[in-house]
Amino acid sequence: MPDLSGIDWDDAFANGPYIANAMGYPDLWTDLAQNFRNTHPRKELDCAYGTHPREVFDLFWPDEEARGLVVFVHGGYWLKFDKSFWSHLAKGPLAHGWAVALPSYVLAPEARLPDMTWQVAAALAAAAEKVRGPIHLAGHSAGGHLVSRMACANAPLAADLRVRVKRVVSISGLHHLEPLQLTKMNDDLRLDLQQAVEESAALQDPAGGIDTVCWVGAQERPEFLRQTRLLEECWKRKGAHVRAVYEEDRHHFNVIDGLADPGSALTNALIG
């Protein structure tokens, strides 16, 4: 492991203390998501992809035949939240004719990061059985880590599913996990060096044929900017089609808002 001493890594990964009214965001997300679920007519809720109560996903259908499948994976440092906070983020892709699946997954400390990677792959496979066409993935923060893992050459995806994955948008994603071993979060994450390396997309080879977008708010913490640059630079050197976008006037908690807007740059980056 490289020498990462001399840095307060708990502070480096802390977002809330640097965002105005940070404590109000979960309630806002809950209300927006619930209102969307109550009003969107075409939906399948709590579709099982495994046996654990959290191994379920919600699927929202567009009015017309779906052009393909978007899967959004939530964040929360692998420690909190579930699919129910983010339903409204389906609005943007739905307006363009894409079906949208939002999975939950088993959180730490009950699960470890490799378990979550396999769970997201299983959720993707189950949703893909319901929706034909290309698959585009988006994830925020820890979810950005999990979708970038799906774009790695060693992702646990069957060959016929892998070829359907055409685009991955990692929003404020975590792509280099070694520093997390030096945080208090690791009491629950239980990352060892081998897992930190194997689960770091920036340290893995990219899969071929996937367009990867690293999207981050320009006002985010320096560590999230570094993580974004690192994945772009590492994967470009390995021949991947990857680009980074630094969205002005956005921080870690509002950078995802564009997914609820059909005309936003983020939605257009996701659907292509």
Residue 2 counted as domain residue = no
Q: What proportion of the chain, given as a percentage, has pLDDT over 90?
A: 97
Q: In the structure encoding, which two tokens stand for residue 59, read together?
A: 């699927």
d(CA 231, CA 191): 20
d(CA 200, CA 113): 10
Peptide bond before residue 17 is cis, with ω within 30 degrees of 0: no
pLDDT of 76: 98
Tens-place pLDDT, residues 21-77: 999 999 999 999 999 999 999 999 999 999 999 999 999 999 999 999 999 999 999
**Rounded to two decimals, what is the model's pTM?**
0.97
d(CA 35, CA 268): 24
Helix spans in 18-99 (H): 25-39, 91-95
Residue 43 counted as domain residue = yes
pLDDT at 272 over 90: no
Domains contained in the chain, number = 1
Residue 1 counted as domain residue = no
Tens-place pLDDT, residues 88-147: 999 999 999 999 999 999 999 999 999 999 999 999 999 999 999 999 999 999 999 999
Residue 125 counted as domain residue = yes
Host domain of residue 17: 9-271
pLDDT of 152: 98
| pLDDT level of residue 6 (50, 70, 90 thresholds) | confident
d(CA 27, CA 32): 9
d(CA 191, CA 180): 8
How does strand 211-217 pair with strand 165-171? Answer: parallel
Sign of the four-CA dihedral 268, 260, 170, 106: negative
Residue 3 counted as domain residue = no
Per the document, the length of the chain is: 272
DSSP annotation of 49? S
pLDDT at 166 over 80: yes
Q: Are 101 and 69 in contact (CB under 8 A)?
A: yes
Q: What is the mean pLDDT of residues 197-209?
A: 97
pLDDT of 179: 97
In sequence order, the 6+-apart residues with CB closer than 8 A to the CB of 15 are 22, 220, 221, 251, 252, 253
Residue 4 counted as domain residue = no
CATH number for the domain including 231?
A: 3.40.50.1820
